[in-house]
Structure 1
Amino acid sequence: MTINVYVVDDSAVVRQTLQHLLQGDPEIRMAGSAPNPLLAGPAIKKNRPDVLLLDIEMPGMDGLTFLRQVMETDPIPTVICSTLTTDGSKAALEALAAGAVAVVAKPRLGLKQFLEESRRELVTALKTAARSRPRARSGAASAAPIQKAAARPVIAGLHALSMNKPIVIGSSTGGTQAIESVLTQLPGDSPGIAIVQHMPEKFTAMYAQRLDGLCAMNVREAKDGDRLERGVVLIAPGGRHMQLRKAGGQYFAVVADGPPVNRHKPSVDVLFRSAAECAGRDVLAIILTGMGDDGARGMKALHERGARTIAQDEESCIVFGMPKEAIAMGGVDDILPLQRVAGAISAFDARG
């Protein structure tokens, strides 16, 4: 099957270079290009491509505005390739939040050479996007200030069970949006949540900051030794693995370097396996949208220890890879649409 890619970039050099690069892969065809979204809009309506490859800075209309319009009307899998999407940039996170499947940064200088050297990364991103199923988005998340819940006083015996029942979540492609959808539905005093989302270094700190502004819970990038407590969400830092350990009846994050696991660092399997070892049946594990099989073996280990395990269903996934593998391994108790995951977390907490 040939993947038809439509390129929107105001640089003629970029368009020509991309056409040359993409011709080298038999699975990809450059179906057309335009220097700006105003010209691209009618073209992609007439001949809908499989994937959009989109710049951000362009005359007439910027790429983020165009991306949001596409995702609200007729979602097309989109890869962003822009000088604005350097590691950890606000533009990159806005693109992912708007529905982009992947972001590839390009430099302002040495552009042609960079694109040639990054051909493999770009082709992989396009093929991943082609296998995704983006969902229509009704608009940007509310930017209204969030009232954070005050920390609960620790009283002997009170909330002891629910305080010691952590939640672990793993996701990859499409996960930035899925996690936001889940967390923004939860009250500020929900059980502590540890999350591995496949992201590069420098992205996770800004991603956590963005979520903290949208959620009632307190969201931050995890640091070694952070306590996982009610009202707190810890995001594993890009380029580091995160594990859970238990000491004195409390759970703490262990953040450390190490080799990639399942080609990822952080890895969902690393988090899930540590949760199986230190929390066992007291943990709720959730695996969301993502490419590949990271987390499937860890979820199986959790299931065998008596933990409650949930996988996102195929219909609501951007990419039904990680949940599918976890289900196939027999490690999943329930398969739920994304909109029911927050309710499952609250029900888990209420059972104490």
Structure 2
Amino acid sequence: MDKIKVLIVDDSKLIRDILTSLLSSDARIQVVGTAEDPYDARQKIKDLNPDVLTLDVEMPKMNGVAFLKNLMRLRPMPVVMISTLTSEGSQITMQALELGAIDFVAKPNDLSRIMGEYSQEIISKVITAAGVSQQKLTAIQQKLTQPEAPEPVKPLSTQAAISADSNAKPAKKIIAIGGSTGSLEALRELLVAVNFTGKEAIVVALHLPGRFTESYAKRLDGQLPCVVKEAQHGEPIREGHIYIAPGGQHLEVRKRAFGFENVITDEAPVNLHRPSVEVLFDSVAKHGEGNAIAMILTGMGKDGSEALARVRSAGMRTFAQNEASSVVWGMPGAAVNEFNAVAPADVLDLQGLASAVSKFGR
């Protein structure tokens, strides 16, 4: 089988050398070149025809987002962003994912991690990105070449906005959502399409490190008619709120006399992830008592797929994003085909999932 050809774009020679070394350590990958800035990269893409690009977020001359936007409009290809764990870096990375980047890897603060877990993370994400179909890349291109819609403005006069404050009622029903690769943008598209009533309470687990969840929650909060925030340990789950699992920590829901509460833990990773979708869904299976639904979105691997089956066995309805709309149909595919966790009629595109959320929240 042909090796995956990778072009590394980063203004730091040290990072270029490190990425070249660790990616070349995998027999499935060939680093065909490196570039120190987008202008250098533009010519090398033409000359080397890489399968995957790793792209630094913050670079001189042109930042990674501006370059990515041009690239995905003119020559769509799988891109994995290399981002710093800073507030600014995380915000730019969110923009990059909206523009079609397949995934991102956070640069480690501790260089001793480079050849350990970091190595395996970036190798797996590059391999996953290489498997994204041309059909999905073309869909991204078509979306970017359409006239830009105005940035959504958070409504202030809806029932949801009025009820979504510290005095909001405890939620009687919850919607649990989990995902990984491609799910940040998928979740945003899903939620923007929901007809919110103000009674919804949504808990979310995505595979994100610290700092990124704060930026992501703030971005969603500005686009939706409800409160979106990082979940905090012991807080009651209220109507009109969306709670995002903090990066690097597990999120569970627990039944209490007044309704439900969030539980945040630092326990060991599950399925190699923390937060883990498996942990969230298992807590729903245990404490949902028929007052919850669960959805699994695009993502590589199987995290949450088996636990989704336990939610269904506990008598609650489950959903999965369909293959056609998923960037990677690993997690939802395993839920559907391996664990029989979802009824065939509930394998839906993002609009279908949004409709299910709207109906459950009434």
TM-score by length of 1: 0.85
Contact 2:205 2:245 in 1 (8 A): yes
2:179 aligns to what? Answer: 171
* Secondary structure at the counterpart of residue 281 of structure 1: coil
Cα distance in 2 between the residues matched to 1:238 and 1:16: 28
Residue deviations 1:288-318 (CA, integer Å, cap 9, x gap): 0111111112111111122111100111111
User: Structure 2 unaligned runs (5+)?
Assistant: none
2:220 aligns to what? Answer: 211
Structure 1 residue 12, shift from structure 2 partner: 4.9
Contact 2:179 2:296 in 1 (8 A): yes
Which of residues 223, 228, 242 in structure 2 aligns to 1:233?
A: 242
Structure 1 residue 216, shift from structure 2 partner: 1.6
CA gap 1:242/1:20 in 2 versus in 1, 3 angstroms: closer
2:280 aligns to what? Answer: 271
2:231 aligns to what? Answer: 222
Structure 1 residue 37, shift from structure 2 partner: 2.3
Q: State the identity %.
A: 39
Which runs of structure 2 are paired with 1:30-45 in the superposition (5 Å)?
30-41=31-42, 43-44=44-45
Cα distance in 2 between the residues matched to 1:20 and 1:225: 44
2:51 aligns to what? Answer: 50
Q: Does 1:349 align with 2:349?
A: no
Residue deviations 1:254-287 (CA, integer Å, cap 9, x gap): 1222121111111111111111222233211100
Structure 1 residue 70, shift from structure 2 partner: 2.7
CA gap 1:317/1:73 in 2 versus in 1, 3 angstroms: farther
TM-score by length of 2: 0.83
Contact 1:280 1:302 in 2 (8 A): no
CA gap 1:256/1:49 in 2 versus in 1, 3 angstroms: same
Counterpart AA for 2:24: Q
Counterpart AA for 2:30: R
Contact 2:7 2:54 in 1 (8 A): yes
2:130 aligns to what? Answer: 130
1:243 aligns to what? Answer: 252
Structure 1 residue 226, shift from structure 2 partner: 2.2
Counterpart AA for 1:168: A
* Secondary structure at the counterpart of residue 280 of structure 1: coil
Structure 1 residue 10, shift from structure 2 partner: 3.6
Cα distance in 1 between the residues matched to 2:18 and 2:245: 36
Cα distance in 1 between the residues matched to 2:80 and 2:306: 29
RMSD of Structure 2 on Structure 1 (CA): 3.0
Structure 1 residue 107, shift from structure 2 partner: 7.3
Cα distance in 1 between the residues matched to 2:287 and 2:113: 45
Contact 2:10 2:16 in 1 (8 A): yes
CA gap 1:152/1:219 in 2 versus in 1, 3 angstroms: closer
Contact 1:86 1:106 in 2 (8 A): no
Which runs of structure 2 are paired with 1:23-34 in the superposition (5 Å)?
23-34=24-35
Which runs of structure 2 are paired with 1:1-352 in the superposition (5 Å)?
1=1, 2-12=3-13, 14-41=15-42, 43-44=44-45, 48-82=49-83, 84-86=84-86, 89-106=90-107, 118-133=118-133, 135=137, 136=140, 138-139=143-144, 142-148=150-156, 149-151=161-163, 163-188=171-196, 189-328=198-337, 329-333=339-343, 334-350=346-362
Cα distance in 2 between the residues matched to 1:142 and 1:309: 33
Contact 2:320 2:347 in 1 (8 A): yes
Cα distance in 2 between the residues matched to 1:283 and 1:103: 31
* Secondary structure at the counterpart of residue 93 of structure 2: helix
CA gap 1:187/1:116 in 2 versus in 1, 3 angstroms: same
Cα distance in 1 between the residues matched to 2:106 and 2:255: 39
1:156 aligns to what? Answer: none
